[in-house]
Amino acid sequence: MTLPPKPALRPANPRFSSGPCTKRPGWTPEALNGALLGRNHRQPETKARIEAALLKTRDLLELPDDYRVALVPASDTGAVEMALWSLLGPRGVDVLAWEAFSRDWVTDILDELRLTDVRPLLAAYGSLPDLSEVDFDRDVVFAWNGTTSGVRVPNADWIAADRKGLTICDATSAVFAQDLDWRKLDATTYSWQKVLGGEAQHGMLILSPRAIERLESYAPPWPLPKLFRLTKNGKVMDDLFEGSTINTPSMLCLEDYMDALAFVESVGGLKGTMARADANAAVIADWVAKTPWVEFMARAPETRSNTSVCLRIADSEIAALPPEARDAFPRSMAARLSREDVAKDIASYRDAPAGLRIWTGATVERSDVEALMPWLDWAFACEKAALAKAA
């Protein structure tokens, strides 16, 4: 078998990781020169800087005026856990899961909180649960975008506007890339490290008035660690939404977040970052449409992510291999492209079906995605030739 030549053009930036994701174009450490380092985070200047980040977030995400934003510990995972442990309990819970992290929320609700009136609505990788089965008289927990499967909810039309329960949404791979209907969401979480390419370990929690009311009218029967506490003496701690934090944040990482928000402004705000992600994902969609050996993991086009694009090998000869060899094939492709310094970290998530996962969020340049596509074809041909030679 004659191998195709290596493509002449390489991506200028080979970082296609789905988290932490690549920094915004042109980023250098000098962008953080204004960070308030070596300062206590509760002083007027530092608190004001944190509050400025919250206000800028509210403005750029176009949040309703009565929604509240807090900076919380432990990245998106910490923000989700805070919402689950603080809000769940007074109603039954429907929890949707179709990939790794949403399945973690099922485990936490059943095995750690030990709630009994829980309906897990599950789907295999590549599909969504039946959204028509969701009961909005109950609390509903779901991910907007399944980062490990590349499957997202198509919109918020399935969420009842007159719901009695709360909606708790893990939106970490969707915020700043997808159109979220905030009035349908009561507790929404994300982290800086995804669409904005910020640093990890800091989470964001966005609460509706209905979520605030739940916090002030319901006290969970289980102990709440300090990192999860949003209330004191039955009232929400207002200062958490005004620049105070539960524990010590990194002012260096905060300055990086401010730099990322400035990038959002520079590309036209929320509409600009959504358009960048859409354009990047469209490059892959056009390539998949004319490439017989690959297909999207997401079966329905309207559920395909525009950030965490997950692909599977569709070649019949590869599909006929024993499972271990079949699963190793895309990992070998990813390793080959990493060695070439063409694409870093594009193997599928460890608990997901074997395949490729390419991040196309707003900090990725479309020209880099375009340059990557011929390299994917080259890596596939190389790995297939290696199989033939081994046989």
Q: What are 277-334's pLDDT values in tens digits?
A: 999 999 999 999 999 999 999 999 999 999 999 999 999 999 999 999 999 999 999 9
Average pLDDT over residues 152-167: 98
Residue 58 burial (C-beta neighbours within 10 Å; 0-12, 13-18, 19+): middle
- The residue to which tokens 């060695």 are assigned: 339
Let me know the angle formed at the C-alpha of 139 by 138 and 140, rounded to the nearest 5 degrees.
110
- Report the candidate in 254, 250, 203 with the shortest Cα–Cα distance to residue 76: 203
Q: Please state whether the peptide bond connecting residue 20 to the residue before it is cis, i.e. omega within 30 degrees of 0.
A: yes
Q: Given this model, what pLDDT does residue 146 score?
A: 98
User: Does pLDDT of 1 surpass 70?
Assistant: no
For residue 264, name the pLDDT band (cuts at 50, 70, 90).
very high
Count of residues in the chain: 391
Check: CB of residue 169 under 8 Å from CB of residue 143.
Answer: yes
Mean pLDDT within 267-275: 98
Cα–Cα distance, 168 to 64 (Å, whole number): 17
**Predicted confidence (pLDDT) per residue in 16-39, tens digit:** 999 999 999 999 999 999 999 999
pLDDT reading at 175 higher than 70: yes
Three-class SS of the chain? CCCCCCCCCCCCCCECCCCCCCCCCCCCHHHHCCCCCCCCCCCHHHHHHHHHHHHHHHHHHCCCCCCEEEEEECHHHHHHHHHHHHHCCCCCEEEEECCHHHHHHHHHHHHHCCCCCEEEEECCCCCCCCHHHCCCCCEEEEECEECCCCEECCCCCCCCCCCCCCEEEECCCCCCCCCCCHHHCCEEEEECCCCCCCCCCEEEEEECHHHHHHHHHCCCCCCCCHHHCCEECCEECHHHHCCCCCCCCCHHHHHHHHHHHHHHHHCCHHHHHHHHHHHHHHHHHHHHHCCCCEEECCCCHHHECCCEEEEEECCHHHHCCCHHHHHHHHHHHHHHHHHCCCCECCECCCCCCCCEEEECCCCCCHHHHHHHHHHHHHHHHHHHHHHHHHC
Quote the pLDDT of residue 2: 73
131-144 pLDDT per residue, tens: 999 999 999 999 99
| CA–CA gap between residue 279 and residue 15 (Å, rounded) | 17
How does pLDDT run across 62-89, given as a tens digit for each residue?
999 999 999 999 999 999 999 999 999 9
Give mean pLDDT, residues 99-112: 97
pLDDT one-digit tens code per residue, 87-100: 999 999 999 999 99
Structural domains present in the chain: 29-264 (3.40.640.10), 269-390 (3.90.1150.10)
Kindly report the number of other CB atoms within 10 A of residue 292's CB atom. 9
- Residue 32, C-beta contacts closer than 8 angstroms, at least 6 positions apart: 252, 255, 256, 259
Model confidence pLDDT, tens digit, residues 325-359: 999 999 999 999 999 999 999 999 999 999 999 99
Both tokens of 7, joined, read 């493509």
Q: Would you say residue 51 has pLDDT above 70?
A: yes
CA proximity to 97, closest of 147, 27, 165: 147
The pTM assigned to this predicted structure is 0.97
Among the listed residues 244, 260, 185, 220, the one whose alpha carbon sits nearest the alpha carbon of residue 27: 260
Looking at the chain, the whole-number percentage of residues with pLDDT higher than 90 is 98
- Predicted confidence (pLDDT) per residue in 184-221, tens digit: 999 999 999 999 999 999 999 999 999 999 999 999 99
Residue carrying structure tokens 């429907």: 94
Q: Is the separation of the CB atoms in 190 and 203 below 8 Å?
A: yes
